[in-house]
Amino acid sequence: MNNLYFKGLSTDNQELEKIRSMFKENDLRFTNVFYSYEGLPLFSKEKLNAAIDDEVRRSNPIGQDVNIICHSMGCNLGILNAEKSSKVKKMILISPEFGEYSKKEKRIIEEAKTHPSIQRPFGEKSKKISGETAKSIILFNRTKPWATLALERVNVPILIIYSKDDIFIPKEYLHRLANRKDNVEIEIINSKLHNPLTSIDHGSKTMSLIKNHLR
């Protein structure tokens, strides 16, 4: 079965090749859906869904059943696709950022914005961001509530993986979600990285969780 990957915004081609190699080493197929989010519709859910469908068809031209693995902002788009597609059989959400944040989580994120050592999900360490990144942040913020609602209608097995010390994850919301929906499981990696799959120390553990879920 093909595994479609929806990357996080800051994931570059080098990281994608590393992830592709990890899947190959574990005898898992891997197809990255988006190399850039530039040009996607920003304000119409219907147009965005159509654009996602177009890319998924290009990634899966014969229309076979697929699993969706997604990271960070890519989780929003992967969930929107899974909501409408009968071809999606399993999902893995790595470091998702949709849903509701508690007051404490919001305060920690606000405090971290002024700290230069904090790893930001969008990979930006300065106040200057590119036009493409600015548009992608708008897309990210627009799709967060859409993904939150869409996930309620996704009933395939879902594994959520996140790093214990990643402050950008709405942990309380995710655990309430897993307690409420029987198809959702959570695994926590002892790390602070926003994508533990690319970690030297925790990549193998994360890959093992992915492989076990896809069996």
How far CA 213 is from CA of 31, 45, 98, 183, 190, in Å, comes to 18, 30, 22, 12, 19
Residue 118 has pLDDT above 90, yes or no: no
Backbone angles phi, psi at 162, to 5 degrees: -150, 160
Residue 64: the pLDDT is: 94
96: left (phi over 0), alpha (psi -120 to 50) or beta: beta
User: What is the pLDDT confidence band of residue 8, given thresholds at 50, 70 and 90?
Assistant: very high
Whether the predicted pLDDT of 54 surpasses 60: yes
Q: H/E/C letters for each residue in 99-122?
A: CCCCHHHHHHHHHHCCCCCCCCCC
* Rounded average pLDDT over 88-111: 95
Over residues 33-58, mean pLDDT: 94
pTM: predicted TM-score of the whole model, two decimal places: 0.91
pLDDT confidence of 38, banded at 50, 70, 90?
confident
CA angle 188-144-128, nearest 5°? Answer: 95
pLDDT of residue 114: 78
Residue showing tokens 């996140």: 162
| Count helices and strands in the chain by DSSP H and E runs | 7, 6
Beta-carbon contacts of 134 under 8 Å, excluding residues fewer than 6 positions away, are none
In the DSSP assignment, the letter for residue 28 is -
As a whole number of Å, the CA-based R_g of the chain is 16
d(CA 142, CA 42): 7
d(CA 45, CA 133): 20
The answer to whether residue 115 scores a pLDDT higher than 60 is yes
| Spatial distance between the Cα atoms of 214 and 72, rounded to a whole number of angstroms | 19
**pLDDT tens digits, residue range 121-152?**
654 444 445 566 788 889 999 999 999 999 99
- Positive or negative CA dihedral for 89, 95, 99, 104? positive
pLDDT at 127: 47
Compute φ and ψ for 86, nearest 5 degrees: -85, -5
**First-to-last C-alpha distance (Å) of the chain:** 10
pLDDT tens digits along 147-183: 999 999 999 999 999 999 999 999 999 999 999 999 9
Answer whether 122's CB lies under 8 Å from 7's CB.
no
Q: What are the structural domains, with CATH classification, of the chain?
A: 2-214 (3.40.50.1820)
User: How high is the pLDDT of residue 128?
Assistant: 47
Query: Which pLDDT value is given to residue 116?
Result: 57
The DSSP output letter for 88 is: E
- Looking at residue 136, its pLDDT comes to 81
